[in-house]
Structure 1
Amino acid sequence: MRHKRGKLTISTMMAISLAIAGCSNADEGTNAAANNEAASEGENAKATVSTSGFPIVQEPISFTMFARIAPVNGPFKDMPVFQDYEKLSNIKAEFTEVPTDGFQEKKNLLFASNELPDVLFRAGLTPLETIRYGTAGQLLPLENLIGEYAPNFKQLMDAYPEIRSAITTPEGHIYALPTIVTLGAARTDKKWINQAWLKKLNLQEPQTTEDLYNVLVAFRDKDPNGNGKPDEIPMTARASSGPGLGLPVVNMMSGSFGLDNQLGYNINLADGKVEIWMGNDRNKELLQYLNKLYSEKLLDPEVFSQKEAEYLAKQGSGNTGFFFDQTNNPFLPIADQYTGIAPLEGPHGDRLQSQGAPVPRDFGSFAIASVNEHPEAALRWVDYFYGEEGSTLLRFGREGEHYELKDGIPYYTEQFLQSGNQAKITPYAGGGAPHLISDKVASFINPPQVQEAQKKLDPYMPEIRYAAPMFDEETARKVDVLRNDIDKYYEEQSTKFIAGAIGFEKWDEFQATLKKMGLEDLQQIYQTAYDAMEK
């Protein structure tokens, strides 16, 4: 990554603002240049960027891009999408690839040191991060550029108004773009169970949490893989969703205990009231259930420590009984061994698919840093991927070589499927890439098996999935302070409750500590934000 400017000065920020606003009159542009050379350079850069068609710029330019790379990916420079798009657009993407494990820490350091790239790609910026870095002047506001330089994205915002409300700050700024998911099956993690083991042991698909417990006991004790060894993994889950996102195993099972995930947090909505459920009685019952599974070796002992690559390998091994994932890609060679099941009914009759993303998913997938000298070109560059043509290139590679069209839908060729290199050629594998995911570009992640798994979840989905609210700067900072402490404490203590490191006789103390940390204040902030949404 090349080092750009250091600390932003007032004159630098004025130049950025002028570059974004631009001038339509040539004489005015000349006068502005005489008064402010930096503004003139910004205007000249804008004038060279086409608003439609290709190339985007006549003279080649390059952008440094800080990007997360998933364990399944190959190098970005070798991906057909970036090789071909460079030729088409005249823009070269120079990636700094950062692995998923440790990405958050390096992203934090990036902003703390102010050694910024031109673009953050697949960056996973949270609403709180975009507010912080946007108001600090490290990210450019995009709202005045989208209409002219992002026609695909604007069309999606017009079709799905919830996109605009989810990414716009109270001051009216848009600092980052999300992944847009119009395909329902791409917004949920399915509940996959080993149907080959069920059949061998003459078991039915579990319908309740008690059924699941009994099935997992059979998976542990009755040698369903037939090798005479007690080496089966009855149930597993990802180790971490990232800071502030909670334990995946808790998230995946929360709906069975009536615990939803609204407004991007551990929130139930009922009769217009917001309840942050961390520490309530249903949460206690959920953790007690998971503690029972863990203590009886039904839940993977590595569920708190395994890396993403290890989790995916367990799916593909065929030696796991029950797990969670969006699609069947990680276990595609043995896909027939698994089937998706409905959410499990809990002890109080709850059967909610609590986990699921809104249409604007993977918030903060793409952002332009304030050091970028060609923000219009950068926005046009990413906008291609919010259309079906660009999304197809990003997800499927080259027609003929990697995919073929059937009734207008791209499918990987059989030869390419047999190579096993699908995840190597696209940044969509591993999630979080800024692009459009629709039914027309999702054949690989939405094959019939996944569609059937989604159908089992659909009856239990909430009518509306509210995205995380965007707060004003002062409120965002308060939320940041509150959540940093509360989320860290909640995840640490939940892990200990599940693993048996602390007993549930400490529950009252746990609740009292959450209250002291400001859980009720945080709840009121979300209540105010929800009330504003509903006006």
Structure 2
Amino acid sequence: MSHHPFTRRAALASGAALASAAVLASCGDDSEEIDTLDQIENPDENITPEGMPIANELITIDFLSARPSTTAEDWNEVSVIQATEELTNVHIDFGLVPQDGATERRNLVLSSGDYPSAFYRTGVGTGDIATYGERGTFIALNDLLEKHMPNLTALMEKSPQIREGLTFPDGNIYSTPQIYDPSFLGLRYMFKLWARQDWLDQFGMAVPETTEEFEAYLEESVNTIDGAIGLTDPVNLGETYPTLYGAFGVANQGTAGGQIDLDPDTGKVRYFPITDGYREMMEYLNGLYSKGLIPADIFSSDRATFTAQGSEGIVAACGTPAPAGYFGEVGEKYVVVPPLTRNAGETPVWHAVRSELASICHFVMTDRCEHPVALARWMDYWYSEEGARQFFLGNQGDSWEEVDGEYKLLPEITEGQSVDDGLKPHSIFMGGSYPGWVTERWFGGVESMPQAMESSKAMEPYAIPEVWSAFTFTPEESDVLGTVGTEIGKYLGEARAGFITGQLPLSEWGTFVETLESIGLSEFLEIQQTAYDRRQ
């Protein structure tokens, strides 16, 4: 997506114009639209009200789906999809397009008016959900949830935050979520800070508890160990910032709100990158960088470089879910660093907590859907215990077995290859960005490795109790956030890199704040405050 306000605005305007032209063009014959709503009230006799199969005779439903390159080329050849089709009598024509071209393709079919029954895993922005929902292009799922989606409804009842985060300002729910089980701490406390236990022992140091002790450990590592790199991470420090938020008193409502949290003094929302705490965090990181304790090329580095350096055994500290997941055997030598404090004796607090509502943008149904009840029931299956387990592990016997109440992948899945490669013929979760329900019982990613789970457990006593899920906005608000919000985000990214590397001196802090104001920070904050108030 372009970051330039003009192109984004122009794209929105032309998309809207095309879409309304498409709506006008179909006004003469709006039977299709009525059909979907009518079918929700009076489903076809072929569709069963509950239990399996969903349809007595096989039906086909068409999707547009983004295919991550790590999944099979044809999802209908994947064993779990074949088994589900047999169970439900619903054949999905997935309409696969490569993940990186999916947004463009979705916008194109929406503006041409020739779109499928559903968009699956294409990351529909919340602004688009609001806009197309208001127009009736995306179907409100409220009635379907109540009558035909018992599994997802049960999860929402168990955790009201999910319903709250899915509901748009008009009171409707248009999409189904990606849910992290609240107790799956490996995912919810994903990013943590790590140090080499063997190096700490060698230096006679304890695991750092303050920012100063952490800095001393990095200095000792870089000055003592041949070729050592201080602090690094796979995405230009993006996985490290959250681990420091608690120490510097920002992001006090968790990470889902982006750069928004609550001002402890006023109880209003604030943009925390302009606070004193954030400036002090930049000063701290700039201090590390200027002493050579953060690699000089950190802002042009990538995951492959990170993995290679770690595997070589030269990384002193890193922000990541589990070093063992990236560095192999060397990764086992790391110990998790507890939430750091600025001064000895302060109470550590952990702000890097992710919402259990991970995303809401990976499944929407359109007014072209001939079988809305069947599709709602098909989608709901993946939120059942049995469906969710199948989604992540494949079919029992094909790719996994139950041993003493635990789900174990069969040896041929993991032998000589990564779990993702082994599961490719059996499952389609790889590459993320799916609607579904993730628990540690059936999720096999890095975040469920023993190292990730144990270290997350160690964070639990310090974790903030209240965590926001991302806000939802009206179409008008989304328009502003799509332009002003995008520009603010882009400028923050550039300024942050500048402050840390010293290319933008911290003495220019006032100019940084003024620039954000001139882009439209007050308008941006006003919208965030409105969204927060609505939720209250």
1:54 and 2:49 matched: no
> What's the secondary structure of 2:470's corresponding residue?
coil
> What's the secondary structure of 1:404's corresponding residue?
strand
Structure 2 equivalent of residue 159 of structure 1: 158
2:489 alignment partner, one of 487, 490, 496: 487
The answer to which of 344-353 and 473-482 deviates more is 344-353
Instruction: Using the TM superposition, give the Cα deviation of residue 153 of structure 1 relative to its aligned residue in structure 2, in angstroms.
Output: 0.6
1:7 alignment partner, one of 22, 25, 37: 22
Q: 1:428 to 1:256 in 2, by over 3 A?
A: farther
1:134 and 2:133 matched: yes
2:282 alignment partner, one of 280, 287, 298: 287
Structure 2 equivalent of residue 177 of structure 1: 176
Is this contact kept in 1: 2:65–2:102, CA < 8 A? no
Instruction: Using the TM superposition, give the Cα deviation of residue 110 of structure 1 relative to its aligned residue in structure 2, in angstroms.
Output: 6.4
Is this contact kept in 1: 2:61–2:93, CA < 8 A? yes
Structure 2 equivalent of residue 386 of structure 1: 383
Instruction: Using the TM superposition, give the Cα deviation of residue 184 of structure 1 relative to its aligned residue in structure 2, in angstroms.
Output: 3.7
1:468 and 2:461 matched: no
Is this contact kept in 2: 1:264–1:468, CA < 8 A? yes
2:402 alignment partner, one of 397, 402, 405: 405
Residue pairs, 1:355-370, within 5 angstroms: 355-370=352-367
The one-letter code of the counterpart of 1:345 is T
> What's the secondary structure of 1:364's corresponding residue?
coil
Aligned residues, how many? 498
The answer to which of 516-525 and 280-289 deviates more is 516-525
The one-letter code of the counterpart of 1:53 is G
- Identity of matched residues, %: 26
1:189 and 2:184 matched: no
Residue pairs, 1:201-220, within 5 angstroms: 201-220=203-222
1:507 and 2:512 matched: no
Q: 1:337 to 1:416 in 2, by over 3 A?
A: farther
> Distance between the aligned counterparts of 1:309 and 1:471, measured in 2?
37
Instruction: Using the TM superposition, give the Cα deviation of residue 187 of structure 1 relative to its aligned residue in structure 2, in angstroms.
Output: 1.4
The one-letter code of the counterpart of 1:366 is F
1:339 and 2:338 matched: no
The one-letter code of the counterpart of 1:462 is I
Structure 2 equivalent of residue 255 of structure 1: 246
The one-letter code of the counterpart of 1:478 is V
Q: 1:339 to 1:83 in 2, by over 3 A?
A: farther
> Distance between the aligned counterparts of 2:455 and 2:211, measured in 1?
18
Instruction: Using the TM superposition, give the Cα deviation of residue 106 of structure 1 relative to its aligned residue in structure 2, in angstroms.
Output: 6.5
Structure 1 equivalent of residue 9 of structure 2: none
Is this contact kept in 2: 1:409–1:441, CA < 8 A? no
Instruction: Using the TM superposition, give the Cα deviation of residue 48 of structure 1 relative to its aligned residue in structure 2, in angstroms.
Output: 3.0
> Distance between the aligned counterparts of 2:431 and 2:292, measured in 1?
29
Deviation by residue 1:324-382 (Cα, 9 ceiling, x = unmatched): 33456733842523333322213695743222222211232322344444333333222
> Distance between the aligned counterparts of 2:516 and 2:188, measured in 1?
30
The answer to which of 134-143 and 103-112 deviates more is 103-112
Q: 1:256 to 1:428 in 2, by over 3 A?
A: farther
For structure 2, the residue ranges without an aligned partner over 5 or more in a row are 1-18
Instruction: Using the TM superposition, give the Cα deviation of residue 259 of structure 1 relative to its aligned residue in structure 2, in angstroms.
Output: 0.7
Is this contact kept in 2: 1:395–1:428, CA < 8 A? yes
Deviation by residue 1:419-441 (Cα, 9 ceiling, x = unmatched): 33312324444433211123543
> Distance between the aligned counterparts of 2:167 and 2:300, measured in 1?
36
Q: 1:412 to 1:197 in 2, by over 3 A?
A: farther
For structure 1, the residue ranges without an aligned partner over 5 or more in a row are 26-42, 241-245
2:39 alignment partner, one of 13, 22, 47: 22
> What's the secondary structure of 1:88's corresponding residue?
helix
> Distance between the aligned counterparts of 1:302 and 1:76, measured in 2?
39
1:438 and 2:439 matched: yes
Q: 1:397 to 1:421 in 2, by over 3 A?
A: farther
Is this contact kept in 2: 1:237–1:249, CA < 8 A? yes
Q: 1:268 to 1:127 in 2, by over 3 A?
A: same
Q: 1:83 to 1:495 in 2, by over 3 A?
A: farther
Quote the RMSD (CA, aligned, Å): 3.4
> Distance between the aligned counterparts of 2:86 and 2:418, measured in 1?
23
1:526 and 2:528 matched: yes
1:91 and 2:106 matched: no
> Distance between the aligned counterparts of 1:91 and 1:357, measured in 2?
35
Is this contact kept in 1: 2:191–2:242, CA < 8 A? no
> What's the secondary structure of 2:408's corresponding residue?
strand
Is this contact kept in 1: 2:229–2:314, CA < 8 A? yes
Q: 1:523 to 1:113 in 2, by over 3 A?
A: same
Q: 1:176 to 1:346 in 2, by over 3 A?
A: farther
Is this contact kept in 2: 1:190–1:340, CA < 8 A? no
Is this contact kept in 2: 1:187–1:326, CA < 8 A? no
Deviation by residue 1:86-117 (Cα, 9 ceiling, x = unmatched): 333332353525346x7666766665666645
TM-score (norm 1): 0.81
Instruction: Using the TM superposition, give the Cα deviation of residue 171 of structure 1 relative to its aligned residue in structure 2, in angstroms.
Output: 1.0
Is this contact kept in 2: 1:273–1:527, CA < 8 A? yes
Q: 1:121 to 1:19 in 2, by over 3 A?
A: closer
> What's the secondary structure of 1:419's corresponding residue?
coil
> What's the secondary structure of 1:278's corresponding residue?
helix
Q: 1:318 to 1:149 in 2, by over 3 A?
A: farther
Is this contact kept in 2: 1:261–1:354, CA < 8 A? yes
Instruction: Using the TM superposition, give the Cα deviation of residue 179 of structure 1 relative to its aligned residue in structure 2, in angstroms.
Output: 1.0
Q: 1:322 to 1:403 in 2, by over 3 A?
A: farther
Deviation by residue 1:186-222 (Cα, 9 ceiling, x = unmatched): 2122323333443455443221222222222333333
The one-letter code of the counterpart of 1:87 is E
The one-letter code of the counterpart of 1:253 is L
> What's the secondary structure of 1:405's corresponding residue?
strand
